[in-house]
């Protein structure tokens, strides 16, 4: 809980989650949950989708319409712990949303992304969505081809290919808060931990809050550098040969076909 509060506050302070923008979900260990909760359902909420793979799993989730800046002051109002039941079509509220609220409107995108990432990495626990300004701006002026988008970010900072060697996937603008964008995001999550929503924001996934925050932070820094230099003549860059050296030095493998 403390980590979630700190992360939400940090995301707000970075300017990634204006007003009630953005959301976080974290898969919880059942043994940890049982230690702190009496496990009595406060109410049952319809999810609007099915996720049988997550049946019986527990999640700590930010609430819909909640401001990240307020999480630190009233966690019980702005966060909730839910348990998915009936093949994920319903969620039992076990703690939180004390003002009668409910989980984020992007709950379907989060849960579908959890399903996709758990297949790739059984230790994945976090899905995070926010609106970093530089990545958002980049989707207006850069080709949205995933290989091209990824290569540009890799070329901006030496650490990028080390931090996200699987690259960045990109979705064109879609209506948010729907099962359709949730399904599309989950499909993209099968091959990368970062999924950009053009003209909207980004989704990140990871094993813990720090890793997921760091993924987005690194990509956002690269986008910031790109926007600072995009209008200038390019004199130097990080070459593919140099990125291959980074692969060898740090024991990572760049996404197949993304380097020469």
Four-residue CA torsion sign, 50, 54, 55, 59 = negative
- Alpha carbons 170 and 147: distance in angstroms, whole number: 10
Fill in the DSSP letter of residue 81.
E
106, 146, 217, 220: the active-site residue: 106
DSSP state letter for 52: G
Q: Which of 113, 79, 84, 83 is nearest to 205 (CA)?
A: 113
229: CB partners within 8 A, 6+ apart: none
Annotation marks residue 106 as catalytic = yes
Which residues are paired to 44 by β-bridges?
92
**Do residues 91 and 82 touch, judged by C-beta distance below 8 A?**
yes
Which residues are annotated as catalytic? Answer: 106
């Amino acid at each position: 809980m403390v980590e979630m509060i700190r992360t939400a506050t940090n995301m707000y302070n970075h300017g990634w989650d204006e007003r009630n923008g953005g959301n976080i979900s974290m898969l919880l260990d059942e043994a940890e949950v049982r230690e702190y909760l009496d496990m009595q359902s406060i109410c049952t909420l319809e999810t609007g989708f099915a996720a049988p793979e997550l049946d019986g799993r527990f999640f700590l989730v930010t609430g819909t319409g909640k401001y990240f800046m307020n999480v630190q002051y009233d966690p019980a109002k702005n966060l909730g712990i839910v348990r998915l039941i009936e093949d994920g079509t319903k969620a039992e509220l076990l703690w939180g949303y004390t003002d009668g609220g409910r989980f984020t409107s992007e709950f379907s995108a989060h849960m579908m992304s959890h399903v996709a990432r758990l297949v790739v990495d059984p230790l994945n626990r976090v899905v995070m969505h926010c609106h970093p300004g530089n990545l958002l701006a980049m989707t207006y002026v850069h080709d949205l081809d995933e290989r091209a988008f990824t290569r540009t970010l890799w070329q901006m900072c030496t650490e990028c290919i080390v931090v996200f060697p699987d690259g960045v996937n990109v979705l064109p603008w879609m209506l948010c808060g729907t099962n359709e964008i949730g399904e599309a995001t989950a499909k993209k999550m099968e091959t990368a931990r970062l999924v950009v929503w053009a003209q909207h924001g980004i989704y990140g996934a990871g094993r813990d809050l720090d890793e997921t925050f760091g993924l987005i932070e690194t990509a956002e820094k690269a986008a910031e550098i790109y926007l600072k230099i995009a209008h200038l003549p390019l004199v130097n860059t990080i070459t593919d040969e140099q990125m291959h050296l980074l692969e060898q030095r740090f024991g990572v493998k760049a996404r197949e076909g993304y380097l020469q």
